[in-house]
C-alpha cells in the first residue's frame, strides 16, 4: 500500500522527498502516481512534471470523502508506484482542528505515514518530537522517519541513536546543501516552467534518493493501492461518477452530439492555478477546452463560446498584460457578446480597472469590473459560500466549499446588490459578502474544486451552448471598447 509523506510543519522537506522518489522511479522506467493533500496548485505542478502524470489533489473538505477514496484508488492503482504528499504539519487542518489534515487523509485511506523532519538544529530532542507525533493519534501508523538537513556523518549517527531509543526506523537522511533548496515566492514554490535546468534538477533529485534513502524499506511503502471492488458503481472512473452524481438536476440545454463548444482557458505564466479535473470534466461534457495566452496577446480561439480565467500571478506580469491590448479587447468583446466568463482569484484581477505590480505601479486591466487592486493582508483558509441569488454557475442558497489564498485588496469597488455573488464564512473570519455574478459572469476570490461541485461545469457548459460563437474580430482587438451588459456602473 502507498504511504503518506508528512512532516511536523511546512518547510521540512516533504516536497523534496516526494520529488526525489518520483524522479528515481521514473529514471528506472517505472510509473508513479503522486497525490497532494489539500488545495495546493504549485506543488502538484512540480510533482506532475517529474512523475509524468497529473498530480491529483486529495481534499475531503472541497470534494468529499467518497471522491477522495475513488480518486485515490482509481488513479493510484494504474501506476507501478504511488505516494501521497501531505500538507503543512501532519495534524494541521481547518482552524485548530485536524479536519482536512494529512492525518485525516491517512486515516481515511489506511495509509502509513513517513515523517520528514528538518533536523539541522537538533540531536537527542528528535526522539521527543517523533514520539509525540507517533503517539498523538492512536491508530495512525508511523512507518518511519526521513531526516532532512543532516550536516555530517556524526550528526547522522546522533540522530540515528535518538530514533533507535524509541524504536523508530530511520528511512533516510538527506544532507544539508543550498543546491537542494526549492525556490519559492509569496504563494508557494516556483512552478516548473520557471525553474532553470529542470531536467538537470530531476537528475539531482533522483541521485539524492539513490544515495541517501533506505530504498529497501521505502520502496515497499510505495506500492499502488488496489482497485476498488466491483460493487455497484464502485469501480467507475471518478470523472464519470462525478458527472452522474450531478446529473440529478436536469440540464437546461440539450447539447447536440458533435456540437462544438470551444471554451478558452487562460493558460500562461500569469494564469495556471487549476486542477486537472476541471478540463477533464468539461471534456466529458462535450466542451473543448482551448488554451489561451493573454500574455502573448493572443486573440480568443475562433468560435469561442466562453472564457475561464484561473488564478495565478497576474501581478508579476501586470505590465505585459496591460500591453496585451488585443487580448484585453477580445475579453471585452466576449463579455459584450454575452459569452460566459468564469474567473477565480488572479482571473478576477484581470477583470478590474487597474492592478498594482510588486513595485506599486498601477497597470490597466480589462476594465470589466469596477475596482482597482493593490497588495493587502493575507486571506487564507477554507470558506463556506452561500450564494445570494442565481448566477452563471451558482444557485441561491446552494452551499459550496472553497478555498481562499491571496494577498490583495480591492479599492474603489462598486457592487450592485443584485450582482453580489455570495456570503463567505470561515474559521476566525467575520462573515462577509464577496464576488460578482450575473447570468454570464462569475468572478470571485474563491477557488473551487469542481469535483466537489460538478453542477458548476454543467451550468458553464449550458451557458456556453446558449451563447453564440464569437465572430472573428474585424481588426486587432476589434470592438475592444464594447461594454458588456453586466458592466457595473456603466
Give the catalytic positions in this structure.
345
C-alpha cell at 251: 440540464
The DSSP secondary-structure symbol of 474 reads S
- Between CA 364 and CA 329 the distance in angstroms is 12
Grid coordinates standing for 151? 550536516
CA distance 87 to 91: 9
How many other CB atoms are found less than 10 A from the CB of residue 367? 16
Three-state secondary structure call for residue 399: coil
Q: Find, among 42, 46, 11, 87, the residue nearest to 312 by Cα.
A: 42
For strands 3-6 and 113-118, give the pairing: parallel
Among 224, 228, 216, CA closest to 2: 224
According to DSSP, the residues that pair with 113 across neighbouring strands are 4, 142
SS3 339: coil
The whole-angstrom separation of Cα 484 and Cα 469 is 16
Secondary structure tally for the chain: helices H, strands E: 15, 22
What one-character DSSP code corresponds to residue 213?
A: B
- Per DSSP, what are the bridge partners of residue 38? none
In b/e form, how buried is each residue of 37-66, taking b as 16+ CB within 10 angstroms?
Answer: bbbbbbbbbbbbbbbebbbbbbbbbbbbee
Task: Provide the CB-side half-sphere exposure for 27 (13 A, CA).
Answer: 18
Q: Which residues contact 245 (CB under 8 A, 6 or more apart)?
A: 454
Amino acid at each position: 500500500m502507498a504511504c503518506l509523506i508528512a512532516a511536523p510543519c511546512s518547510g521540512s522537506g516533504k516536497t523534496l522527498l516526494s520529488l526525489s522518489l518520483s524522479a528515481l522511479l521514473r529514471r528506472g522506467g517505472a510509473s508513479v502516481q503522486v497525490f497532494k493533500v489539500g488545495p495546493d496548485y504549485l506543488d502538484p505542478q512540480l510533482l506532475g512534471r517529474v512523475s509524468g502524470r497529473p498530480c491529483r489533489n486529495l481534499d475531503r473538505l472541497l470534494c468529499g470523502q467518497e471522491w477522495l477514496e475513488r480518486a485515490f484508488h482509481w488513479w493510484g492503482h494504474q501506476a507501478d508506484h504511488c505516494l501521497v504528499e501531505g500538507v503543512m504539519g501532519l495534524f494541521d487542518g481547518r482552524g485548530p482542528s485536524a479536519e482536512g489534515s494529512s492525518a485525516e487523509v491517512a486515516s481515511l485511506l489506511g495509509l502509513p505515514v513517513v515523517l520528514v523532519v528538518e533536523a539541522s538544529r537538533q540531536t537527542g530532542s528528535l526522539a521527543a518530537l517523533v514520539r509525540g507525533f507517533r503517539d498523538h493519534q492512536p491508530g495512525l501508523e508511523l512507518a518511519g522517519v526521513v531526516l532532512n538537513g543532516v550536516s555530517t556523518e556524526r550528526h547522522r549517527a546522533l540522530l540515528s541513536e535518538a530514533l533507535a531509543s524509541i524504536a523508530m526506523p530511520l528511512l533516510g537522511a538527506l544532507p544539508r546543501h543550498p543546491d537542494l533548496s526549492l525556490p519559492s515566492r509569496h504563494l508557494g514554490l516556483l512552478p516548473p516552467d520557471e525553474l532553470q535546468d529542470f531536467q538537470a534538477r530531476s537528475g539531482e533529485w533522483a541521485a539524492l534518493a539513490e544515495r541517501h534513502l533506505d530504498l529497501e524499506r521505502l520502496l515497499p511503502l510505495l506500492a499502488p493501492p488496489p482497485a476498488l471492488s466491483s460493487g455497484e458503481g464502485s469501480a467507475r472512473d471518478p470523472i464519470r461518477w462525478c458527472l452522474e452524481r450531478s446529473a440529478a438536476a436536469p440540464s437546461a440545454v440539450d447539447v447536440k452530439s458533435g456540437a462544438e463548444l470551444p471554451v478558452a482557458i487562460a493558460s500562461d505564466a500569469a494564469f495556471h492555478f487549476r486542477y486537472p479535473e476541471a478540463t477533464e470534466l468539461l471534456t466529458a461534457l462535450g466542451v473543448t477546452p482551448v488554451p489561451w495566452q493573454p500574455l502573448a496577446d493572443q486573440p480568443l480561439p475562433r468560435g469561442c463560446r466562453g472564457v475561464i480565467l484561473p488564478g495565478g500571478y497576474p501581478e508579476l506580469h501586470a505590465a505585459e498584460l496591460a500591453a496585451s491590448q488585443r487580448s484585453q479587447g477580445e475579453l471585452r468583446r466576449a463579455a459584450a457578446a454575452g459569452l460566459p466568463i468564469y474567473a477565480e482569484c488572479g482571473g478576477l484581477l484581470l477583470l478590474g480597472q487597474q492592478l498594482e505590480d510588486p513595485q506599486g505601479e498601477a497597470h490597466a486591466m480589462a476594465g470589466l469590473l469596477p475596482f482597482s487592486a493593490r497588495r493587502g493582508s493575507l486571506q487564507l483558509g477554507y470558506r463556506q459560500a452561500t450564494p445570494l441569488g442565481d448566477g452563471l454557475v451558482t444557485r441561491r442558497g446552494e452551499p459550496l466549499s472553497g478555498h481562499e489564498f491571496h494577498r490583495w485588496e480591492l479599492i474603489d469597488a462598486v457592487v450592485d446588490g443584485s450582482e453580489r455573488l455570495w456570503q463567505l464564512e470561515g474559521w476566525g473570519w467575520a462573515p462577509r459578502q464577496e464576488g460578482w455574478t450575473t447570468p454570464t459572469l462569475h468572478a470571485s476570490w474563491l477557488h473551487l474544486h469542481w469535483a466537489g461541485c460538478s453542477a458548476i461545469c454543467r451550468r458553464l457548459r449550458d451557458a456556453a451552448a446558449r451563447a453564440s460563437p464569437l465572430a472573428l474580430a474585424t481588426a486587432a482587438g476589434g470592438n475592444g471598447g464594447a461594454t458588456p451588459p453586466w458592466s457595473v456602473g456603466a
